[in-house]
Amino acid sequence: DPAEKKGALARLLAPAGLSEPWFDGYLTGVCTAPHFVSPPDWLGPLLHVAGEALTSEATMQRLIALAMLRMNACLDGRTFCRR
């Protein structure tokens, strides 16, 4: 299911000691950077921080899918991180 269910991202981030507000801050920085930041350039650090707590390939793929959904919404101007 590509849609984000309430709390799904928080549940994926929690085992790594990260929170949804932390992710929102990170994404805000990416979205408002003076130059476009490509997905590999911002997903890589995210996975480095959260990676050890992701228990399976499916969990990692779900985190990436939810992160991309939020990034796309941001870039489309549907969320908080648009200038």
SS (H, E, C) the chain: CCCCCCCHHHHHHHHHCCCHHHHHHHHHHHHCCCCCCCHHHHHHHHHHHHHHHCCCHHHHHHHHHHHHHHHHHHHCCCCCCCC
Q: Summarize pLDDT for 57-74 with one digit per residue, the tens.
A: 999 999 999 999 988 887
pTM confidence score: 0.81
- Cβ-contact 50, 43 below 8 angstroms: no
Q: pLDDT 10s per residue in the chain (83 long)?
A: 567 788 888 999 999 999 999 998 999 899 888 998 999 999 999 999 998 888 899 999 999 999 999 888 877 775 555 43
Of 33, 73, 82, the residue nearest 65 (C-alpha): 73
- Identify the pLDDT of residue 65: 93
pLDDT at site 80: 54
